[in-house]
Amino acid sequence: RKRNVWCNEGYNDWKNLSIALDRHSSSKDHIQNEVTFKTLNKSELTQCSVICRCVDSLGKIKEHFLGFYDVRNKRIHTTALASSDALFVHRDSEKNNPDVKFEFTPENMKRAEAVMSIYPFGHKKAAVIPLLDLAQRQNGGWLPLSAMHKVAELLDMPRMRVYEVATFYTMFIRNPVGKYHVQICTTTPCWLCGSDDIMKTIKEKLQIEVGETTKDNMFTLSEVECLGACVNAPMIQVNDNYYEDLTVEDTKEILDSLAAGKLPKAGPRNGRFASEPLGGLTSLTEPPYGPGFKVRSDL
């Protein structure tokens, strides 16, 4: 319909319109420049009029339709305010710079060699994730730049390839953290089950905000995406342990125990086993059959 209107202006050929657009610029503001109009003849003024109408129409179309589908207009959604993946570019600091030396301990070096021996010749770079994890555990729960360089050296990999892995997985923490890294899930299932109350309790108990570490370097608080324990929401992860089915009182008890140097029992806090229904099992209630059940004796 709009094309018919433009055709009435004297442009039956879209190719000519494109040529005119290239000649006089697709910018309406540029076309309407007073100096430009003075240099145009009557035919060219008609062309400019059509081009301006094209620009107006395309702008409206993009505003009403393309804004919903054009990937360039999409926004990246984030919730974690200061997690390890918030900044993909390394910034040297006193504790984290290339001059800080990192070496695996003799025990961890043996573990690293055992991991690398699993992979066939020429493919030992596949061990990059377990070696980075080993380095992070040795370094108190965070992964310095020098540790990445050491892993790259052991695996004969370009350092950039190791950086790519370390910045992709949020489990690799590239900034110093406290002894206990408290990660609270705030995605939909946990939020519906009260993660806001758990977050408020942790902040008040530790007197820190998300992304901060307590003055004694005991606790670091992070807000994270789904940790895969939705049926046990709300929950938190402290280092490697999941604490699930939390209440405000449960959260306080866990933090008090950790502060006292005691490791609370991981798992659900309401007494259920793993993620079984709160009312107990409804299936698989009998012991499993032993080997050979219903198998022919002559087989």
125, 156 contact by CB (below 8 A): yes
Instruction: Kindly report the CATH class assigned to 180-268.
Output: alpha beta
Q: pTM, whole model, 2 decimals? A: 0.64
Would 76-176 and 180-268 be classified into the same CATH topology?
A: no
- The per-residue pLDDT for 154 is 95
Q: What is the average pLDDT across 115-142?
A: 94
Q: pLDDT-based confidence at 97, cuts 50/70/90?
A: confident
- The per-residue pLDDT for 259 is 95
Sign of CA dihedral 133, 137, 141, 146: negative
pLDDT over 70 (residue 244): yes
Q: What is the average pLDDT across 214-219?
A: 94
Q: What is the average pLDDT across 220-234?
A: 94
Q: What are the domain boundaries of the chain?
A: 2-72, 76-176, 180-268
- The per-residue pLDDT for 98 is 84
Average predicted confidence (pLDDT) for the chain: 80
Residue pLDDT, tens place only, 249-290: 999 999 999 999 999 999 999 988 888 887 777 888 888 888
Residue 177's CB: how many other CB atoms inside 10 A? 20
Q: What is the average pLDDT across 101-123?
A: 94
- The per-residue pLDDT for 52 is 60
- The per-residue pLDDT for 6 is 44
- The per-residue pLDDT for 79 is 46
Residue pLDDT, tens place only, 35-86: 444 555 666 666 666 666 665 665 555 455 444 444 444 444 444 444 544 5
Sign of CA dihedral 46, 48, 52, 54: positive
- The residue among 35 and 216 whose pLDDT is bigger is 216
pLDDT over 90 (residue 148): yes
Q: What is the average pLDDT across 119-144?
A: 94
Sign of CA dihedral 11, 15, 17, 20: negative
Fold for 76-176, please state it: Arc Repressor Mutant, subunit A (1.10.10)
